[in-house]
Amino acid sequence: MGEENKVILYGTWSSTYIKRVELALKIKGMPFEYVEENLSNKSDLLSSSDTLYNPVHKKKARGNSSLLRGKQHKREPEYVFERLRGLQEGMKNIQSVRNVKIYKENLGLLDIIMVATLGAYRAHEEFLSVKVIDPEKYPLIFKWITNLVQLRVVKEITPPHDQLVSFLQKLTPQAMKFPTN
């Protein structure tokens, strides 16, 4: 691959969005360079590309800027559990889901999103002291996520459990500083 076509992924280890891209690149076997960014001290390239703070792109940033500025959105536990219940019910209607063996080669977009979003559920359960994916309530989702996190390619992109729990503990006081109006 020529230097002008080289894929460079800038991100932070805790970003589920970056983990989605990283996993997709690994699944497709695309070589890439990962550059860890410190979001409190961004590189010049990342700063110039940041649509939220770059005046040239300010109008395009409206879609994600309210989230990043801390405006309230649906994060309540009941909202999450309602979505899990809906997913579980939908999966019951697909007979093939129960019998599919998951391999790196057959991972799809939904698998990538699920593992990036729920793959670290144990860290979230430890931090929140709440059972997020109860195998009795959500057996199909539990089986799906359990199978996904066992894959070598997924293990390669998964942050260490203790590091993630520590990050969540540090993040909470920062999140509480944002205005909610």
**Domain residue ranges of the chain, discontinuous segments joined by +:** 3-68, 77-175
Top-level class of domain 3-68: alpha beta
Domain 77-175 CATH assignment equals 1.20.1050.10? yes
Task: Please enumerate, as own/partner, the contacts of 106-114 that have beta carbons within 8 Å and a separation of 24 or more.
Answer: 107/23, 107/27, 107/148, 107/151, 107/153, 111/148, 112/20, 112/23, 112/24, 112/27, 113/20, 114/144, 114/145, 114/148
Give me the tens of pLDDT residue by residue for the chain, a chain 181 residues long.
456 678 888 888 888 889 999 999 998 889 999 988 887 777 777 677 666 655 544 444 444 443 344 444 445 677 878 888 888 888 877 655 555 566 666 788 888 988 888 888 898 888 888 888 899 999 888 988 998 999 999 999 898 989 988 988 887 665 544 444 4
pTM attached to this predicted model: 0.68
Q: Do 3-68 and 77-175 come out as alike in CATH topology?
A: no
